[in-house]
């Protein structure tokens, strides 16, 4: 009788730093809420609350808390932590200069007045806003949404390790998974290779094209839409997730695709944010990450492919995740299919291209979206979402 060898275990990419950070401490289980009595309290902004979750669940491994001054300056100036680990965006907790002195030792972090976590303050230091804007966002223009948020924040950064009391499943409990939970799904499905796709925009046919081209190369697809704070004119997260649900239900192989939300806030830092998105997806356990045109960009602040070119600053071993770079993809009316500049010989007059701004305009006006641009089912979800806003 022949004995078949046991299948080898699924080896997922090691988290950045080697260990997946876990700093979730449940009240009533891991500690007593009475321990927090009398401690200073700090109400978190939307972005700070999202950062707290990303830090505590390991999405931002190897970070265990908000950056200290040396790490902050190293990230701004070199895109690396002080020990040389790649890291492209400063994760900080700014407060007003007037309030900073009140935060010493352990601080209770609150959301809507309710305790959601703690920060052990180890440093308080001056935020270098002009330097951060110039190096991270590549502009000091206050009209840039990321720069505007930076300038509007406090002038002093608090630093130190954090804890989170409970993972906030929010508006999407069925799809809200921590990095450890996504890794469990990948292992259970036996995906030896997987790719993550991030978007803050509504799903359209060009996205679907990228997904399915990539699924010819890897075992599984993690659809990972960002659902944290975005610009006021971006399509609401609820509508975007509903569009994904409709699409997955009808057009994607169930056992080779996974919809899971990415709770980070959007910074619109273009190339720098693309690197962070890739590194954090490594922490979620995927082997590949798609970077398309103007990833995490806004307006005309960044070149079309700057977000792809920035990865040349790191070796493949440092990144620990393979970057898949795609050209701009669109429907060509002469080719009769989705194409890119690599595959289509026709000029722009043959191409159906709608900007995000134009899509929003058509939705607000109640105009239909072309089926070559997006599936009718997706267009209906978006139409209904905008109609509900009126």
3-state SS class at 105: strand
Cα distance between residue 200 and residue 234, in whole Å: 8
Measured CA to CA, the distance from residue 244 to residue 249 in angstroms comes to 8
Kindly give, in sequence order, each residue whose CB lies less than 8 Å from that of residue 14, ignoring residues fewer than 6 positions away.
320
Question: Order of strands, edge to edge, in the sheet holding 194-197?
Answer: 257-259, 220-223, 194-197, 288-291, 322-325
The separation between the first and the last C-alpha atoms of the chain, rounded to the nearest angstrom, is 71
Query: Do the beta carbons of residue 95 and residue 121 sit within 8 Å?
Result: no
Given the residues 124, 177, 200, 293, select the one marked as catalytic. 200
Strand, coil or helix: 149:
helix
- 62 prior amide bond cis, ω within 30: yes
- CA dist 66 and 74 (Å) reads 14
Tokens, residue 266: 């959007």
- Contacts (Cβ under 8 Å, ≥6 apart) of 232: none
| Residue 201 is a catalytic residue | yes
Closest by alpha carbon to 285, among 195, 169, 212, 168?
195
Cα-Cα-Cα-Cα torsion 289, 297, 180, 119, nearest 10 degrees, comes to: 150
Contacts of 372 (CB under 8 A, 6+ apart): 205, 331, 333, 352
Alpha-carbon span 201 to 296, nearest angstrom = 10
- For the beta carbon of residue 384, count every other beta carbon within 10 angstroms: 12
Residues 6+ apart with CB under 8 A from 28: none
- For residue 134, the 8-state DSSP code is I
- Which of 106, 169, 201, 383 is flagged as catalytic? 201
Active site residues: 200-201
């Amino acid at each position: 009788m022949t004995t078949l060898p046991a299948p080898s275990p699924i080896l997922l990419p090691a988290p950045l730093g080697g260990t997946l950070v876990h700093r979730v401490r449940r009240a009533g289980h891991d500690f007593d809420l009475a321990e927090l009595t009398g401690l200073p309290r700090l109400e978190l902004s939307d972005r700070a609350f999202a950062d707290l979750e990303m830090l505590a669940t390991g999405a931002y491994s190897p970070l265990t808390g908000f950056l200290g001054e040396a790490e902050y300056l190293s990230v701004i100036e070199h895109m690396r932590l002080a020990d040389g680990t790649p890291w492209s965006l400063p994760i900080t907790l700014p407060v007003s200069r007037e309030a900073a002195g009140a935060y010493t030792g352990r601080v209770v972090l609150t959301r809507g007045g309710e305790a959601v976590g703690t920060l052990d303050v180890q440093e308080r230091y001056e935020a270098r806003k002009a330097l951060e804007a110039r190096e991270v966002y590549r502009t000091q223009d206050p009209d840039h949404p990321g720069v505007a948020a930076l300038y509007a924040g406090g002038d002093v950064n608090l630093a130190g390790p954090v804890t989170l009391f409970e993972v906030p499943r929010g508006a999407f409990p069925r799809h809200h998974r921590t990095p450890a939970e996504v890794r469990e799904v990948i292992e259970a499905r036996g995906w030896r290779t997987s790719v993550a796709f991030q978007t803050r925009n509504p799903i359209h046919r060009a996205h679907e094209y990228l997904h399915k081209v990539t699924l010819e190369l890897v075992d599984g697809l993690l659809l990972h839409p960002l659902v944290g704070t975005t610009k006021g004119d971006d399509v609401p997260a609820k509508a975007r997730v509903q569009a994904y649900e409709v699409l997955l239900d009808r057009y994607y192989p169930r056992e080779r695709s996974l919809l899971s939300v990415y709770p980070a806030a959007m910074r619109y830092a273009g190339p720098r944010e693309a690197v962070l998105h890739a590194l954090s997806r490594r922490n979620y356990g995927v082997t590949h990450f798609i970077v398309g045109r103007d990833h995490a960009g806004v307006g005309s602040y960044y070149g079309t492919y700057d977000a792809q070119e920035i990865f040349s600053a790191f070796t493949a071993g440092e990144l620990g995740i393979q970057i898949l770079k795609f050209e701009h993809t669109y429907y060509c009316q002469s080719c009769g299919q989705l194409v890119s500049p690599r595959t289509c010989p026709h000029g722009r007059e043959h191409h159906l291209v709608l900007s995000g701004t134009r899509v929003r305009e058509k939705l607000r006006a109640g105009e239909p979206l072309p089926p070559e641009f997006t599936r009718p089912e997706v267009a209906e979800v978006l139409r209904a979402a905008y109609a509900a806003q009126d």
